[in-house]
Chains A and B, each alone.
Chain A
Amino acid sequence: MNAFRDAGHLFRLAGVFAAGVLLFLVLRSFLVPKSFGEYGHYRGNALAEIAARPVNFAGHETCETCHADVLEKKRDGKHAHVNCEACHGPLAKHADDPSSVTPAKLDAAVLCVRCHEANAAKPKSFPQVVSADHSNGLPCDTCHQPHSPAIAAEPAK
């Protein structure tokens, strides 16, 4: 009995710890979203929330329904598998209302080097140039047709 009395402070300490753990568990039950762990180690509701976000990209199939001529140009070129919106940007709003939302004109001098500026980290087989030396400041589309960029493939004008 005496041992219990003399260890009373340790029981008080254990009580403080227990209260701390309890407080943590109560807080945890409030702070952890209910849908956490529903599918994996994340908030289950996040899937629905992400799905509900507005669509920005129309997808190349949508573009091709109107711009069949571009598809024709691209088909045999090096950019055949580059999606329209990779260069033109997300255009779902344009697809929804083509007459009032028109995409901005692209600046080939800025756009092309994003992929084709020479960098030792890129595979050697990938076409790349030191733009300052290669075009002498001229925009790329002076010589290259972006939808089918190989110059040899250009039909004679």
Chain B
Amino acid sequence: MQGVEGFMYPNEVELQWSVLIVLYPFLTGLVAGAFILASLERVFNVEAVKPTYRLALLTALAFLLIAPLPLQLHLGHPERSFEMYLTPHTTSAMAMFGFVYLWYLMAVLVLEIWLDYRRDIVLLSQSTTGVTRLIYRAMTLGSSNISERALHIDERAGWLITVIGIPSAFLLHGYVGFIFGSIKANPWWSSPLMPVVFIFSAMVSGIATVMLVYMFLTWSRKQTIDMRCVDTVARYLFYIFIIDFTLEMLDLIHRIYESDESFRSLDFMVHTKLYVSHIVVQIFLGTVTPILLLGATQVLNLTDRARKRIYGLAGCLTLIGIFAMRWNVVIGGQLFSKSFLGYTTYKMGLVTREGLLTAIVLTVLPLVILWVLVKLLPPWPERHTRPDSVIAHAR
């Protein structure tokens, strides 16, 4: 059979989880990572990253709104997915995730954005006209109280939500790793390290995205990039990337040392079918190179211009590397036979429901939503209207 080598069981020949299932953990990871970056400013008082705080929240929201779409498009009957809210089965990880998603969306992200923007929303509802005014008025929920005391309450509530939000963000993406890590029949996936690796890679991709989006939007607005902010974000990216890479290597070394019955088969796969996407793209191009680039900015005394270029390049390579990691997990886990004697091939459709075009649209769509959100709720520092006295008082 074309594309099949060795011995495959009949039900393994065709891959069931396509590029959209690769995209899903990638998008969810960006959400969790962006939120954790935002929490640095709010909970851990990292003042330097303040210019990215609101942008990180909006980025998280834009990607979270689209994150379930790849799953919906994968389903034969997407309209039935709502039933997991109506009659959830407690033994189904997918059903429980529906609630994790909803909790994270409504109780964490939307709430935190609303509280943080409330003063702006009230002011905008008074200064705008027409439909925009109606939208802002609806967002105020009929309350225009922006007294110092009210804003202080918002600040306290926002802080509390961020504190709750951090474990929620871990839960959201840890779950995605859990879904794969708990599949005991698949040795490529079945590892208790999977949720942890997914969380750290999520943080890496989310921080890289916010860094890139911040740099791009500031550049497109012809404003000066706050280098102290970008340097700090890049430093966090560098540290977390090292932890992420260490965990992935730990997983790898553990597999090599354990050498269970699947090892030879998986090792062969990594050296053949997955060589380019795993060794070349994920490890060298998407992990080692950005770590070295980011490391160079920490060690060498580079100009602002050089650092900006390095951050841009490292950020793009990071996203390519994390996408390759999701690809290697999802697609790689379906390329080998449970007999450990055969391998199949993934043929990606181009203009099909689960093909390349759909994947590109679903990747661009969050950026369009982000553009709308940025227009609606400007995240720029000059519009950042939280009075410092209120912030100081809240802490």
Contact = CB atoms under 8 A, between A and B. Distances in A.
B6 to A, nearest CB: 10
Contact of A7 (B7, B89, B141, B150): B150
A5 B145 CA distance: 9
Interface residues of A, number: 23
A7 B153 contact: yes
A31 B141 contact: no
A10 B152 CA distance: 12
A32 B9 contact: no
A89 interface: no
Interface residues of B, number: 22
A32 B10 contact: no
Interface SS of chain A: helix, strand, loop or mixed? Answer: helix
Given A12-B142, A13-B114, A28-B86, A6 B7 contact: no
Interface SS of chain B: helix, strand, loop or mixed? Answer: helix
B151 to A, nearest CB: 9
A9 B118 contact: yes
A53 interface: no
A32 B143 CA distance: 36
Q: Which of B87, B106, B153 has the most CB of A within 10 A?
A: B87
A35 to B, nearest CB: 12
Interface string A1-45: 011011111101100110010001000100110001100010000
A32 B85 CA distance: 10
Contacts of B154: 9
A68 interface: no
Nearest to A120: B7
A8 B87 CA distance: 35
B247 interface: no
B80 to A, nearest CB: 12
Interface in B97-120: 106, 111, 114, 118
Contacts of B87: 32, 36-37, 41
Contacts of A10: 153, 157
Nearest to B148: A6
A13 B141 contact: yes
B224 interface: no
Contacts of B89: 41
B143 A8 contact: yes
Contact of B149 (A6, A17, A24, A119): A6
A36 B86 CA distance: 11
A31 B86 contact: yes
A121 B342 CA distance: 12
A31 B86 CA distance: 8
9 contacts: A8-B143, A9-B140, A12-B142, A13-B114, A13-B141, A16-B141, A20-B106, A119-B10, A121-B9
Given A7-B153, A9-B141, A37-B87, 20 more contacts: A2-B149, A3-B153, A7-B150, A9-B143, A9-B150, A9-B154, A12-B141, A12-B142, A12-B143, A13-B111, A20-B106, A24-B85, A28-B86, A31-B86, A32-B86, A32-B87, A41-B87, A41-B89, A120-B7, A121-B7
